[in-house]
């Protein structure tokens, strides 16, 4: 048996599979259940300062031809005060990552403080900052596309908490490494790539976009090559010293190996859960496949990392 214990900087988890943000993770029950069923760690749905109802339906649809999902949930969340109360009910053994969004550095820091006031500063192993929120000052632009703003956000977040800060990068930029660099310069503990890609579907019969929000984000199998490239680019720039978490389109254990070869030290999975009646089935399938591969190749997970660059 190959040891699957994974380190993401200081954070140690029992295996490299992490539940991605916004998948199942809106309630304490689902987060407890997902961890119990075998994830190495779980990320919550992104939470902001104030409650948001999100967009009307259709807001999440499955695209069978490409095993993908188009969503525009619209950051629905009960606000950090209520969500903090929810998180108190998470079992103490769960490796929890709280995902946070906001439009400014103050916004994000205040949510971190609010969550820590509720759950203390040891319950979550990391905060994952989802920077795909619209930038309030620059209309139409996303927070995570402005390197200076990313620097300020991470800098301020690092100054108010001892908990690790992970930055989730959007692929909707010209060069993902520029944003990654801003985050790392400001002290980010890990980079997570990628979030969903801007996308749209139009219903031919109705001649109308399917999502109520018209535009949404694409996840699932179709986006894996884009995620792989993002991780490859980031590893090429930073080398092994910066922990990278690969997300996007993981469907099989081979996909995980691919992300590790590109330079990831851990992965998150989301859309693939739509294919299984319960997370435990996909988790055991992925971990068994990965174990077998590592034994057969005589490699540790750690040794696998970045091999495609040699």
Partner 1 sequence: MNDILFNLPKCLTIRNKESHNEKTSTLTFSLPFEYSIRPGQYFMLWVPGVDEVPISVSGYHGTHISFTICDVGSASRSLNNKGHTELIGLRGPFGNGFEVEYGKNALIVAGGMGIAPLRFLIQCLTSNITSSQRIVLIQGAKTCNDLLFRSEFERLPIETNFCTEDGSYGFKGFASTKMDLLLGDLIQSDFNLEIFACGPEIFLKKVLYVAQKNKIEKNTQICLADRHIRCGFGICGSCFLDDIGLSLCRDGPVFRGSVLLEVTDFGQYGRKSNGLKYQFH
Using CB distances below 5 to 8 A depending on partner kind, what does residue 26 bind out of ligand FMN, partner 1, none? partner 1
Which of 3, 53, 106, 254 lies at the binding interface for partner 1 (CB under 8 A)? 53
C-beta of 204: minimal distance to ligand FMN in Å?
23
Taking CB under 6 A as the criterion, the residue among 60, 173, 226, 307 binding ligand FMN is: 60
CB-wise, 56 or 187, nearer to partner 1?
56
30 near partner 1, rule: CB under 8 A: yes
CA distances from 282 to 138, 263, 267 (A): 41, 23, 14
In the bound complex, what is the minimum distance in angstroms from residue 211's beta carbon to partner 1? 10
The residue among 285, 226, 210 whose CA lies nearest residue 258 is: 226
Q: How far is the CB of 27 from ligand FMN (least distance, A)?
A: 13
Contacts 24+ apart (CB under 8 A), 116-123: 116/161, 116/163, 117/84, 118/81, 118/84, 118/85, 118/87, 118/88, 119/84, 119/87, 119/88, 119/90, 121/161, 121/162, 121/163, 123/87, 123/90, 123/92, 123/96
Answer whether 171's CB lies under 8 Å from 195's CB: yes
Q: Are β-strands 17-19 and 41-43 bridged in parallel, bridged antiparallel, or unpaired?
A: parallel
29 binds, options ligand FMN, partner 1, none, Cβ within 5 to 8 A by partner type: partner 1
Task: Pick what 87 binds: partner 1, ligand FMN, none; C-beta below 5 to 8 Å, kind-dependent.
Answer: none
Q: Does 145 bind ligand FMN (CB under 6 A)?
A: no
* Token representation of residue 275: 């294919």
What does DSSP assign to residue 52? B
**Contacting ligand FMN within 208-247 (CB under 6 A):** 219-220, 223, 247
**Active-site annotation holds for 133:** yes
Q: Lay out the site mask for partner 1 across 153-182 (x = CB under 8 A, - = otherwise).
A: ------------------------------
- Catalytic center residues: 133
């Amino acid at each position: 048996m190959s040891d699957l214990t994974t380190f993401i900087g200081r954070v140690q988890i029992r295996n490299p599979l992490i539940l991605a943000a916004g998948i199942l993770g809106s309630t304490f029950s689902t987060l407890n259940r997902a961890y119990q069923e075998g994830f190495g760690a779980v990320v919550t749905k992104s939470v902001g300062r104030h409650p948001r109802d999100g967009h009307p339906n259709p807001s999440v649809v499955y695209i069978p031809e490409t095993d993908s999902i188009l969503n525009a949930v619209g950051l629905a969340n009960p606000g950090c005060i209520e969500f903090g109360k929810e998180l108190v009910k998470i079992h103490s053994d769960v490796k929890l990552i709280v995902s946070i969004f906001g439009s400014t550095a103050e916004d994000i820091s205040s949510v971190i403080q609010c969550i820590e006031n509720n759950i203390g500063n040891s319950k979550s192993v990391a905060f994952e900052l989802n920077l795909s929120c619209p930038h309030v000052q620059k209309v139409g632009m996303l927070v995570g596309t402005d390197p200076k703003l990313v620097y300020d956000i991470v800098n301020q977040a690092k100054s108010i908490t001892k908990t690790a800060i992970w930055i989730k990068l959007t692929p909707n930029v010209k060069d993902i490494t520029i944003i990654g660099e801003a985050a790392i310069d400001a002290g980010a503990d890990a980079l997570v790539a990628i979030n969903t890609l801007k996308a749209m579907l139009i219903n031919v019969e109705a001649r109308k976009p399917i999502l109520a929000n018209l535009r949404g984000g694409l996840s699932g199998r179709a986006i894996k090559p884009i995620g792989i490239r993002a991780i490859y680019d980031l590893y090429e720039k930073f080398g092994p010293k910066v922990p990278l978490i690969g997300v996007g389109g993981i469907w099989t254990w081979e996909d995980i190996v691919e992300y590790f070869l590109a330079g990831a030290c851990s992965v998150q999975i989301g859309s693939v859960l739509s294919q299984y009646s319960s997370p435990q089935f996909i988790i055991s399938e992925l971990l068994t496949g990965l174990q077998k591969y590592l034994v057969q190749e005589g490699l540790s997970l750690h040794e696998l990392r970045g091999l495609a660059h040699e």
